[in-house]
């Protein structure tokens, strides 16, 4: 996993600092920056060294916990630690919504194979998957926030749980649809499996056969998907945070990209990627824990 | 006539599919008594497994439909019983084991768990009590080091061992009837013999009635008391094991016996019944076997042969069984 | 000697078929049928699939919008605008109303299809070619080639698509070019740089499955070169899951372009796309919601039709659902 981490962070670093374009555009207001400023900044960010050396120095700092500073002097680390909790709360609520609604819908659809509920869930999830997140976001904001007024249309600085519910729904919508479809497919397939026939012939009630035997087997890939999704949610909330004005990691990232705050971008993305990889690792372990076939390979 | 343990009486089952109606079982009748082994013989598509699944009540309905007949267990018709009552019988009094033990066992639960489940559901025991019983049963089916292996998963066992686990699960509540659907087809020959011996011993100890479903004539000879030969959803011949092998009265049975390779037929071409089993969506008119029958006459295409008595406890569904019996 | 009946699915079946009557597994017909391949079976099923027909019609309409937009706008062009009509609602003369600059929203929506769909198509083609190629090489040759390529795939896979796209697009100098293809190319590159990874994984696992098949070993025994085996046997048999994913990804890329444009990073004006229209309409959502919702609907329907198409193709190609 280490080479992957190094590779990923290197590519990000390269994309931020080494791609064509002047990193100091717009930093000093309407006028181009004075030469002394540029020289100072270049030294500070090691921009005069070759790319691998730059990266090496950055990595060295990283290992010591120093994520560097933004152009304005704030430490990247403090910016991250301020924004992270909000995004974490948002992602957590979204995951809960995803699990509860997604799995329930999937089970309902599989049990009702070919029937009204199945078709309804299939069509609804298809539509949700197709509509881009920001459209869903606007729709939700407009309908529930502005027209109906059930939830605040934007999130305040405290980012309370109540304020986060609507954006969490929006964030969860795509994943929810995937979870429902995944669960439906798995359960429908497992219901036709031989061991279900054996369980029935053991005289077990239909509820037990489905609820204990079939669902347990079907959940395995779903759980791993949800696990991986959590990592993705943490980093992918850019659009949702933008629409609902949430001051989380997504918003921070977006802002720093637009203002070309290279250090912040690299720092934030590095953290996100690390979290993503960590979550994937945990999911792999989790998979081994819940699927005995993998465990005893 | 005293009551049989199990009495399948004139059963009709069909499958309604997109391509038409498949007549899977067309008037099948057989009986089973305690301590008796009935072998149901036939090729794939003959309906032998469908009959068993109908007895167990695990047939997919739809697309399956039972369109006639009764299945009497101790005199009571299973087909008209409420499902709740049938559920109590299923697994506890009539049990079934299947061909592919790897896919028939749940891969994410331990074998002990799956055996113990029988006791938890049917006898209301606790998990701990059930697991203890599971160890006991695993020893009865001759799995070495049962105590250590009770917490293992199905994929950690060999094919033969897994089959024993399925047997353990099936006999756990001392069923009166055990249905074994091709229990040894997926195993190699030496393991086959061990499993068949195990089944025979268990049957004797518990005085179970056993229905052995197979297509393998070799397996049948050492184990069965009586045999029912099925073809295209009908029983074409039924006899005790000696009479069937020595004096077959149906061309199909004769064909099956002739196509078995024998030690003393070296150098001769191996016989095979020409043709293929018919599609159940479009059964041949008259006697279903007529397209492949060497004794076929015009009458065979026109009329369905009734089941005629050939000798005591020996029936065959052929107009010309006398020719077959003569050899 | 390729075996056209090789079943192709992304996940290997785990249960063994037993000789029972579950579902409708019936004994073989006595008369021999014309040999059926996976593709002809799939086509037969597709033809009768309502979803396929519906998505086909929709995609056809979108293609008309892309190549012959004037047919649907009755000759009006999207650049003639009248500021005095700014933000007027839908009426009989302007079905979707007017945007902030007084441009006809309906006309702009129709013309906006081109950029959005082109991005989708080219991004899919790019990722299919690049990703597919890398996947085939990795899957077929195995060994250290596979290790390196897989590592590389993992590295790029770790960067979320949107993030990477944002990074790449931010780095481009704000150009004065108004060239449609230049803008489209920019976005395609941004999406393609990270998007190839999913194609690679699918192709690789598909190839690995096929590589071990008997007919490939037989071809090799007959002296076929690696290139020939890849071309004639491996690729045709691995294509099915790739096609399904490609179709669905197409829809995804259209959505991704819209998202990037919404963030202000994708296509730049005066290039018209659904994403840019939504971005422009955002501040006025309370006052003139129609400015946003009409392009949003078109966008969603476009994505929907491609995903439906992918779904229908997958159902037709999946041997397990027979």
* Cα dihedral across residues B120, B126, B127, B128: positive or negative: negative
Kindly state whether C51 is in contact with chain A, defined as any CB-CB distance less than 8 angstroms: no
Contacts of C97 (CB under 8 A, 6+ apart): C87, C88, C89, C90, C91, C105, C288, C290, C291, C294
| Best CA proximity match to B7, nearest among B84, B63, B77, B64 | B77
pLDDT at B112: 93
pLDDT at A28: 63
Nearest residue of chain A to residue C162 (CA atoms): A236
More confident residue, B63 or A34: B63
The residue assigned the tokens 């924004």 is A83
Residue range C171-230, pLDDT digits in tens = 665 555 567 777 788 888 888 888 888 888 888 888 887 777 888 888 888 887 877 777
Residue range C21-51, pLDDT digits in tens = 333 334 443 444 455 566 777 777 777 788 8
Of the partner residues B58, B100, B109, the one whose CB lies closest to the CB of residue A201? B58
Element (H, E) at A15: helix A2-17
CA distance B168 to B137: 6
Rounded-to-10 torsion of CA B107, B108, B114, B117: -140
Residue range B272-318, pLDDT digits in tens = 888 888 888 888 888 888 888 888 888 888 888 888 888 888 888 88
pLDDT of B39 > 50? The answer is yes
CA distance A5 to A273: 8
Distances (CA, A) of C194 to A275, C153, C159, C198, C246: 19, 9, 7, 9, 15
In our burial notation (b when 16+ CB lie closer than 10 A, e otherwise), range A167-201 reads bbbbbbbbbbbbbbbbbbbbbbbbbebbbbbbbbb
pLDDT of B105 > 60? The answer is yes
Residue range B191-203, pLDDT digits in tens = 888 999 999 999 9
pLDDT band for B94, please (50, 70, 90 cuts): very high
B6-17 sheet: strands from edge to edge = B20-32, B6-17, B64-73, B76-77
Contacts of C125 (CB under 8 A, 6+ apart): none
* Domains parsed from chain C with CATH numbers: 45-321 (1.10.3720.10)
What are A160's two structure tokens? Answer: 């309370």
CA distance C305 to A126: 10
Contacts of A20 in chain C (CB under 8 A): 171-173
Cβ-contact C138, C234 below 8 angstroms: no
Helical ranges in A112-237 per DSSP H: 116-130, 133-140, 161-191, 194-201, 206-208, 215-236
B234-240 sheet: strands from edge to edge = B94-97, B177-181, B209-214, B37-41, B226-231, B234-240, B314-316, B308-311
Cβ-contact B49, B58 below 8 angstroms: no
Distances (CA, A) of A110 to A106, A178, C322: 6, 14, 17
Neighbours of chain B (3+ CB pairs under 8 A): A, C
CA distance C70 to C110: 9
Q: Collapsing DSSP states into helix, strand and coil, what is residue B159?
A: helix
Cβ-contact B211, B177 below 8 angstroms: yes
Q: What is the ipTM of this complex?
A: 0.85
What are B325's two structure tokens? Answer: 């019996």
Kindly state whether C282 is in contact with chain A, defined as any CB-CB distance less than 8 angstroms: yes
Helical ranges in chain B per DSSP H: 48-56, 83-89, 101-104, 111-122, 127-140, 146-149, 159-171, 189-206, 217-221, 241-246, 251-258, 298-302, 321-326
Kindly state whether C170 is in contact with chain A, defined as any CB-CB distance less than 8 angstroms: yes
pLDDT tens for chain A, residues 1 to 297: 677 777 777 777 777 776 666 666 656 666 667 777 777 777 766 776 777 777 777 777 777 777 777 666 677 788 888 888 888 888 999 999 999 999 999 999 999 888 899 999 988 998 898 888 888 888 888 888 888 888 888 877 777 888 888 889 999 998 999 999 999 988 988 988 899 999 999 999 989 999 899 988 888 888 888 887 887 787 668 888 888 888 888 888 877 777 777 777 777 877 877 787 788 888 888 877 778 877 765
pLDDT at C13: 33
pLDDT of C231 > 90? The answer is no
Nearest residue of chain A to residue B100 (CA atoms): A194
Cβ-contact A262, A58 below 8 angstroms: no
Phi, psi values for residue B41, rounded to 5°: -110, 140
Q: Collapsing DSSP states into helix, strand and coil, what is residue C268?
A: coil
Of the partner residues A7, A21, A126, the one whose CB lies closest to the CB of residue C155? A7
Helical ranges in chain C per DSSP H: 38-47, 50-67, 69-73, 105-141, 143-157, 161-171, 180-211, 214-221, 226-229, 235-262, 274-281, 290-317
Contacts of C29 in chain B (CB under 8 A): 279
pLDDT of B169 > 80? The answer is yes
pLDDT of B19 > 90? The answer is no
CA distance B206 to B292: 42
Mean pLDDT of C231-235: 76
Cβ distance A126 to C308 less than 8 Å, yes or no, reads yes
pLDDT at A31: 66
pLDDT band for C322, please (50, 70, 90 cuts): very low
Residue range C256-268, pLDDT digits in tens = 888 888 877 778 7
CA distance C203 to C245: 10
Phi, psi values for residue A73, rounded to 5°: 105, -15
Strand pairing category for B314-316 and B234-240: antiparallel
pLDDT at C20: 33
More confident residue, A83 or C11: A83
pLDDT of B249 > 50? The answer is yes
pLDDT at B136: 92
pLDDT at A29: 61
Residue range C50-100, pLDDT digits in tens = 888 888 899 998 988 888 887 777 777 777 787 877 777 777 777 777 877
Of A247-256, B50-59, B275-284, C161-170, give the lowest mean pLDDT range.
Answer: C161-170
Strand pairing category for B37-41 and B226-231: parallel
| Best residue in C17, C22, C23, C27 for a mutation probing chain B (most B CBs within 10 Å) | C27
**Contact map slice: C 8-27 vs B, CB within 8 A:** 14-16, 18-24, 26-27
Our CA-based measurement puts residue B173 at a distance from the nearest CA of chain A, in whole angstroms, of 10
| Residue C263 CA to its chain's centroid (Å) | 21
pLDDT at A25: 63
Of the partner residues A193, A202, A220, the one whose CB lies closest to the CB of residue B118? A202
Cβ-contact B248, B311 below 8 angstroms: no
Q: B35: number of CA atoms within 13 Å, CB side? A: 3
């Amino acid at each position: 996993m280490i080479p992957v981490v190094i590779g990923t962070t290197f590519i990000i670093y390269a994309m931020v600092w080494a791609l064509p374009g002047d990193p100091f555009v717009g930093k000093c207001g309407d006028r181009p920056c004075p030469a002394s400023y540029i020289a100072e900044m270049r030294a500070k960010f090691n921009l005069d060294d070759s790319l691998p050396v730059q990266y090496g120095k950055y990595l060295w700092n990283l290992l010591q916990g120093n994520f560097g500073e933004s152009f304005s002097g704030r430490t990247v680390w403090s910016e991250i630690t301020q924004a992270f909790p909000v995004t974490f709360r948002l992602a957590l609520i979204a995951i809960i919504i995803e699990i509860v609604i997604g799995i329930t819908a999937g089970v309902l659809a599989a049990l009702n194979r070919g029937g009204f509920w199945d078709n309804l869930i299939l069509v609804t999830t298809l539509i949700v998957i197709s509509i881009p997140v920001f459209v869903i976001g606007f729709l939700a904001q407009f309908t529930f926030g502005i027209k109906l007024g059930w939830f605040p249309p934007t999130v305040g600085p405290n980012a309370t749980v109540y304020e986060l519910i609507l954006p969490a729904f929006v964030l969860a919508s795509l994943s929810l649809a995937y979870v429902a479809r995944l669960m439906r497919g798995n359960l429908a397939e497992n219901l036709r499996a031989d061991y279900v026939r054996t369980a029935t012939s053991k005289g077990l009630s239909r509820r037990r056969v489905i609820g204990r035997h079939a669902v347990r087997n079907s959940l395995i890939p779903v759980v791993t998907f949800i696990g991986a999704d959590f990592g993705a949610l943490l980093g992918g909330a850019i659009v949702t945070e933008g629409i609902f004005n949430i001051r989380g990691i997504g918003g921070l990232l977006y802002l720093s990209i637009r203002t070309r705050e290279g250090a912040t971008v690299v720092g934030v993305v590095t953290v996100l990627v690390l979290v993503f990889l960590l979550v994937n690792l945990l999911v792999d372990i989790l998979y081994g824990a819940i699927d005995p076939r993998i465990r005893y390979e | 006539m005293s009551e049989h343990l199990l009495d399948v009486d004139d059963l009709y089952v069909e499958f309604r599919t997109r391509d038409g109606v498949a007549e899977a079982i067309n008037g099948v009748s057989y009986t089973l008594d305690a301590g008796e082994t009935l072998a149901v013989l036939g090729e794939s598509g003959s309906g032998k497994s469908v009959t068993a699944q109908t007895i167990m009540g695990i047939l997919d309905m739809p697309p399956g439909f039972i369109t006639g007949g009764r299945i009497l267990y101790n005199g009571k018709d299973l087909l008209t019983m409420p499902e709740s009552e049938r559920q109590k019988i299923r697994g506890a009094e009539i049990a079934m084991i299947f061909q592919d033990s790897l896919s028939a066992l749940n891969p994410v639960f331990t074998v002990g768990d799956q055996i113990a489940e029988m006791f938890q559901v049917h006898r209301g025991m606790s998990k701990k009590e059930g697991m203890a019983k599971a160890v006991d049963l695993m020893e009865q089916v001759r799995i070495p080091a049962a105590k250590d292996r009770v917490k293992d998963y199905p994929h950690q066992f060999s094919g033969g061992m897994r089959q024993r686990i399925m047997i353990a699960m099936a006999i756990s509540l001392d069923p009166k009837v055990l249905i074994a659907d091709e229990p040894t087809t997926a195993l190699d020959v030496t393991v086959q013999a061990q499993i068949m011996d195990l089944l025979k011993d268990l049957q004797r100890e518990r005085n179970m009635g056993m229905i052995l479903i197979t297509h393998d004539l070799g397996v049948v000879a050492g184990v069965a008391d009586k045999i029912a030969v099925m073809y295209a959803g009908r029983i074409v011949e039924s006899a005790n094991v000696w009479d069937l092998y020595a004096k077959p009265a149906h061309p199909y049975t004769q064909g099956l016996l002739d196509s078995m390779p024998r030690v003393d037929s070296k150098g001769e071409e191996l016989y095979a019944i020409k043709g293929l089993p018919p599609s159940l969506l479009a059964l041949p008119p008259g006697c279903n076997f007529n397209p492949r029958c060497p004794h076929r006459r015009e009458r065979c295409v026109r009329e369905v042969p009734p089941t005629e008595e050939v000798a005591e406890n020996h029936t065959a569904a052929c107009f010309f069984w006398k020719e077959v019996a003569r050899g | 000697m390729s075996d056209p009946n090789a079943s192709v699915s992304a996940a290997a079946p785990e249960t063994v078929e037993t000789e029972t009557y579950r579902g409708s597994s019936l004994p073989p017909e006595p008369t021999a049928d014309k040999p059926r391949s996976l593709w002809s079976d799939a086509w037969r099923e597709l033809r009768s699939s309502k979803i396929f027909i519906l998505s086909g019609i929709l995609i056809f309409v979108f293609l008309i919008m892309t190549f012959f937009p004037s047919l649907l706008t009755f000759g009006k062009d999207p650049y003639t605008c009248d500021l005095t009509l700014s933000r007027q609602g839908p009426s009989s003369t302007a079905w979707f109303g007017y945007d902030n600059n007084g441009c006809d929203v309906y006309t702009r929506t129709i013309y906006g299809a081109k950029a959005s769909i082109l991005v989708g198509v080219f991004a899919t083609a790019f990722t299919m070619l690049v990703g597919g190629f890398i996947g085939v090489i990795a899957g077929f040759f195995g060994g250290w080639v596979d290790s390196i390529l897989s590592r590389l795939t993992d590295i790029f896979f770790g960067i979320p698509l949107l993030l990477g796209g944002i990074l790449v697009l931010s780095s481009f100098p704000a150009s004065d070019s108004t060239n449609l293809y230049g803008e489209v190319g920019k976005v395609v590159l941004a999406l393609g740089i990270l998007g190839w990874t999913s194609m690679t994984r699918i192709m690789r696992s598909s190839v690995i499955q096929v590589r071990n098949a008997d007919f490939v070993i037989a071809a090799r025994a007959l002296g076929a070169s690696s290139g020939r085996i890849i071309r004639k046997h491996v690729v045709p048999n691995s294509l099915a899951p790739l096609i399904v994913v490609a179709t669905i990804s197409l829809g995804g890329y259209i959505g991704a372009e819209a998202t990037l444009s919404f963030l202000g990073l994708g296509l730049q004006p005066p290039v018209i796309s659904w994403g840019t229209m939504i971005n422009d309409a955002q501040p006025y959502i309370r006052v003139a919601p129609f400015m946003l919702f009409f392009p949003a609907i078109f966008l969603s329907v476009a994505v929907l039709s491609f995903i439906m198409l992918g779904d229908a193709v997958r159902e037709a190609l999946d041997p397990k659902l027979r």
